[in-house]
Amino acid sequence: MEILPSLTFTVGFITQADKVLLLLRKKSPNKGKWNGVGGHIEPGESPYRCMQREIMEETSFYVDNLHFGGILTWTGFEIECGGLYIFTSKVNSQSLIACQEGELAWHPLQFAFSDPAVVDNIHYFLPPVMSGKAAAHYHFDYLNGSIVKYENNPLPDEVDIHAPYWGGRSK
């Protein structure tokens, strides 16, 4: 079985009615693009708990209804090869706070699915994630900032969103 790259990040897409909350990133990677909220998994923290913490820190929403949508891995991107866990959650409010990571704004789902101002790989994985498809492994190969190969595979058995992260690679 192929060894997964280190899954060290989370990304979350918060919805309310027919809108999705996106972050216009002011830092690399994906600077100047709309993305979900999220960040680095801290040592000893599970991906699930990391996503709850990142959502709270960046949006002030406390969520206890996270839905796991899969993992995303990449090679050839502006940061070294790696991976992240994808989550979604519904909230009851569209109130926003200031965020150090960038500008938060509510957008129609179709904007997230197709607008060129959104991180390009989101157009591939977010529609199936939002439609309730089974969690999957989405992989992207980049060359000169563009996607040159995309794969959608079954989720590897070893992925556990509740296991603490201690660094290193997933086995």
Cα–Cα distance for residue pair 88/77, rounded to 1 Å: 24
Cα angle 141-118-154, degrees, rounded to a multiple of 5:
45
Of 171, 169, 164, residue with least CA distance to 46 = 164
Cα–Cα distance for residue pair 59/23, rounded to 1 Å: 10
User: Tell me: the pLDDT tens digits for 106-158?
Assistant: 999 999 999 999 999 999 999 999 999 999 999 999 998 899 999 999 999 98
pLDDT of residue 168: 57
Question: How many other β-carbons are positioned within 10 Å of the β-carbon of residue 71?
Answer: 25
pLDDT of residue 111: 98
| Single-letter code of the amino acid located at 36 | G
Listed by start position, the domains of the chain span: 7-154
68 forms beta bridges with 87
Q: Which fold has domain 7-154?
A: Nucleoside Triphosphate Pyrophosphohydrolase (3.90.79)
- The CA distances from residue 72 to 62, 82, 84, 94, 107, in Å, are 24, 8, 5, 27, 22
User: Tell me: the pLDDT tens digits for 54-87?
Assistant: 999 999 999 999 999 999 999 988 777 689 999 9
pLDDT of residue 150: 96
Q: Which pLDDT band holds residue 28 (cuts at 50, 70, 90)? A: confident
